[in-house]
Amino acid sequence: MDIIEVQGLWKKFRLRQDRAENISTLFINLFRKLPNLDKELWALKDINFTVQEGKSLGIIGANGSGKSTLLKILTGTLRPTRGQITVRGRRSSLIELGAGFHPDFSGRDNVYLNGLILGMSRAQIKKKFDEIVAFAELEQFIDVPVKYYSSGMQARLGFAVATAVEPEILIVDEVLAVGDGNFQQKCLTRIREMQRKGTSILLVSHAMKEIDTVCDEALWLHKGEVVRFGKAKEVVREYQINQGRRCAL
């Protein structure tokens, strides 16, 4: 069964070119007849793919290709301009460093806050709390406000909470690249454990080795369009050949 179906997905952003830099400029602009300087940016164009239950999809492409926009639509934080998305199953995501964390709250408070947002009960969070803190390796800092955490500490805590939910679909962006090598390997081990339990994974990464070894299929995006969708090893190989040609030019 397909746990995710994306059909004819388009996403448009409007870029304002006449923003006033101060109050004086804003006041003057009110009395000037300016042309419409809005520009349209199609971040995604006619995207189609499916993810089967228990399978993993890697999403690859250069910066600006539309990867993060696609993930935000899949998590429900952005709405598509047109097209249809069907997601069957409980989602958990880590697509933006520090998203959902309150900087003035301690790590402990943020574990409970994020756990509740992701659908866990207080009893479930309490039961998994020590496991979350141990995985994030933050025992000494769990009662420190998150605003004093490094980016790596935030990434560790965010990943620990997101995976503790035991979701049916886990969506992970490049935030894993923030941690050190040992923690990245720890995260990949956790992802493989979740895969064995039947969790579907959507992974955005510039590390082709991760996509090649973790994912069953890969979606290659370029300027908002699908270049290729298929078996991960084949798509990664073609992408690397293409990147090599571009570097040689």
pLDDT digits (tens, 9 = 90+) for 117-140: 888 899 999 999 999 999 999 999
- pLDDT for residue 180: 74
| Interhelix angle 151-164/181-196, nearest 10 degrees | 10
* pLDDT exceeds cutoff 60 at 182: yes
**Which CATH number covers residue 169?**
3.40.50.300
Residues 93-118 have pLDDT tens digits of 887 766 778 999 999 999 999 999 88
* pLDDT exceeds cutoff 60 at 148: yes
* pLDDT exceeds cutoff 70 at 24: no
How many separate domains does the chain show?
A: 1
Average pLDDT, the chain: 87
Residue 205: which domain range? 2-248
Backbone angles phi, psi at 30, to 5 degrees: -65, -25
pTM comes to: 0.82
Cα separation, 228 vs 239, in Å, equals 9
